[in-house]
Structure 1
Amino acid sequence: MSFVLVAVNCFILITGYVYYGKETKYYRLATLWIEVLFYSILILLLFYFMFPTEFGFEDVWKNIIPTFYTKGQFSRYWFFTAYVGMFLISPFVNIALKYFDKKQDLAAFLSLFIIFSLLPTILNQDMAFNLNEGYSVLWFVVLYYTGGLLHKYEIFKKLKSNKWLLIYIVCSLISWSIIYILESLGLIETGFGLYSFNCYLSPLYFIGGIALFCVFKNIKITKSFSISMIKFFAPVCFGVYLIHDNMIVDKYVLAKKFAFLANMDPISMIIGIILVGVGIFVACSLIDWIRELLFRKLKVKSRLANLEENIYLKFDNY
């Protein structure tokens, strides 16, 4: 787990890196929101016809507003919920990235790192700013700003890929070692946030995520086949998340279906987990590829872009 928990941090670092120096376009967020509604409502309808007695009015309401309905600790599609908040705040972060000099950026980064990562981890207390172990808008804003800094100062060029990879591996191994020791001593229940499996705030996962981002940023892809694969899978990754992480799909399709893997020997279990993961990813990718073709046919993105442009023009005329 310690080697993969950097994934969420990396996604937002990429967002901050990509949008650095760019004007905020709200149609992009609207496009993602429509995609969320598309799958939420479609999946509900499909399973309603298969299990009509299992769903009521509350289920319909939950799927109409999936990013605002909360259940338990986190909201449905918590990642997108936090992403929406971060996106709406990002124009102000972009202003800071544009006008701050190197000293101001360094002071801001160190302050954010200490206040929102280091101290909550050491003190095992993240509720002062409602950080929710990283499942929050505020933590996503910190990551977005960091991603912008990676672009602004080209941090990935400061070290070679093998050194960035070493940093990532060391951070992951330290996290794993601490967890293993605490589990062996029976103290894991009282561990700091650093020891939590779900704590994206951990300095080790934060630094490890930055390092892993820099590893891939330094990779030069030239083969046409690899480029084609990336172009195919990149647009559908969000759809993969929406499909397999949908609560209805989880309950009726995925829950307890792969528990048998836990009874295998370690090598077979690892191979089985990889195969299942790849299978789910490919299947969901093909489903979302159809959705992507439909959205292109309906010109969803271009229509929303034109709508936003027309709204700006009307405001300019006042």
Structure 2
Amino acid sequence: MSINISVTKRDYGIDLLRVVSMLMVPMVHILGQGGVIGATVPLSLQYESAWLLESILLVAVNCFVLITGYVYYGKETRYYRLLTLWAEVLFYSIIIIIALKFIFPNEIGLEQYWKAIIPTFFTKAQFSRYWFFTAYVGMFLLSPFINLGLKHFTKKQDLSVFLSLFIIFSLLPAILNQDMAFTLNQGYSVLWFLVLYYTGGLIHKYEIFKMFKNYKWLLIYVACFLISWILRYVLDVSGLIEPGFNLYSFNCYLSPLYFIGGIALFCFFKKMNITKSAVISVIEFFTPVCFGVYLIHNNMSLAHFFFDKKFEFIAHMDPISLFISVILIGAGIFVVCGLVDWIRELLFRKLKVKKRFAQFEENIYLKFDKYLNSNS
């Protein structure tokens, strides 16, 4: 396998995966937070239909972080990117809480305002806000160390590290059905994001996507979610687990099946050769607003009033209608939130937010260098 240091052109396959992954996220939330799976009768056709869709979609978050590791491999860590994302988080946290204050004046108090100002610091379940961004911040701050290892490790060292990470943080937790001693929190953690970031870097460094033809990567992904779905069904029927979200090993991001499935889906999209201008235009429109889709629909204050348990009615549809309804509603949420975030994107461009943060970072470096030189 050859080593590749940089991407020379825009990778629309990866951009499309970014869009597809975020398209999946509202659907996952409809099934879980929205109450669809919880409202279905265990082992009914509706229950199995919902779990099949959940099994298909659960690679979304892993794919997102794999993309980050792949894209930033061989690149200098620029912290203005993190500041720009944080500005988006604060923008929506504050805007949404002010809007909700007008709609539900008696429900929004000082505590909600305080949490809106510092949304990423509340990590307990009852205060959870934007856990993905909280884990992403930790991963981003530690990414220079991962990049340094990726730059200097030999193939043998990379292979040893990857196998160790896979066994300790994915395979053993699945076999033992627990976090072990690392507090991985089923993948909702900085530690798991670092594993995914490193894996994404390896895919870039050794061009792993070239190992198989594209249809084989797709088959691996399909096999992973089908095996996960079947295993859960067998354990449900056998009575070894209680129906619902109780099987840690197969219903979380750490699962070896979702880890491998995420890698396979990433490689499938990476090998796509997208040339049609119409498709490229759609990708270019939605790629910048993907993070905004997450921030809007998953805002905890907004979700409390308009999302949590609000989709239980879907559980009473026939299995096919249930399957299709979740996809269509999830896609609708994605499009609406994407259009809203496009307004925010235009505003940020007008205010030159990214450019100002980049200049701020540059000024900090210049002043720091000047200080060091004056004291040397």
Q: Same fold (TM over 0.5)?
A: yes
Partner of residue 248 from structure 2, selected from 193, 201, 211: 193
Is contact 2:59-2:253 (8 Å) kept?
yes
| Count of residues paired in the alignment | 316
Say whether 1:279 aligns with 2:332: yes
Task: Determine the structure 1 residue equivalent to 2:79.
Answer: 26
Determine which structure has greater relative contact order: mean sequence separation of CA pairs < 8 Å that are 6+ residues apart, divided by chain length.
Answer: 2
Is contact 1:123-1:192 (8 Å) kept?
no
Is contact 2:128-2:300 (8 Å) kept?
no
Partner of residue 177 from structure 2, selected from 94, 115, 124: 124
Is contact 2:178-2:249 (8 Å) kept?
no
Task: Determine the structure 1 residue equivalent to 2:209.
Answer: 156
- CA deviation after TM superposition for structure 1 residue 219, in Å: 0.6
Q: Label 1:193 to 1:271 Cα distance change in 2 as closer, same or farther (>3 A).
A: closer
**Cα distance in 2 between the residues matched to 1:143 and 1:153:** 15
**Cα distance in 2 between the residues matched to 1:79 and 1:290:** 23
Partner of residue 245 from structure 1, selected from 282, 298, 301: 298
Task: Determine the structure 1 residue equivalent to 2:318.
Answer: 265
**Cα distance in 2 between the residues matched to 1:121 and 1:270:** 27
Task: Determine the structure 1 residue equivalent to 2:152.
Answer: 99
- CA deviation after TM superposition for structure 1 residue 241, in Å: 0.3
- CA deviation after TM superposition for structure 1 residue 127, in Å: 4.2
Letter of the aligned partner of 1:59 in structure 2? Q
Say whether 1:181 aligns with 2:234: yes
- CA deviation after TM superposition for structure 1 residue 82, in Å: 0.3
Is contact 1:75-1:81 (8 Å) kept?
no
Task: Determine the structure 1 residue equivalent to 2:45.
Answer: none
Letter of the aligned partner of 1:254 in structure 2? F
Task: Spell out, residue by residue over 1:40-93, the C-alpha distance to the aligned partner (whole angstroms, 9 max, x if none).
Answer: 010000000121111111111111111001332773110000000000000000
Map 1:182-221; keep pairs closer than 5 Å: 182-189=235-242, 193-195=248-250, 197=251, 199-221=252-274
Task: Determine the structure 2 residue equivalent to 1:313.
Answer: 366
**Cα distance in 2 between the residues matched to 1:281 and 1:102:** 40
Letter of the aligned partner of 2:123 in structure 1? T
**Cα distance in 2 between the residues matched to 1:145 and 1:109:** 8
TM-score by length of 1: 0.96
Task: Spell out, residue by residue over 1:159-212, the C-alpha distance to the aligned partner (whole angstroms, 9 max, x if none).
Answer: 0011111111111111001101111122224976323x2x11111111111001
Say whether 1:143 aligns with 2:188: no
Partner of residue 275 from structure 2, selected from 215, 222, 225: 222
Identity of aligned residues (%): 71
Is contact 1:175-1:194 (8 Å) kept?
no
Task: Determine the structure 1 residue equivalent to 2:142.
Answer: 89
- CA deviation after TM superposition for structure 1 residue 290, in Å: 0.2
Unpaired runs of 5+ in structure 2? Answer: 1-53, 372-376
Say whether 1:41 aligns with 2:94: yes
**Cα distance in 2 between the residues matched to 1:255 and 1:50:** 17
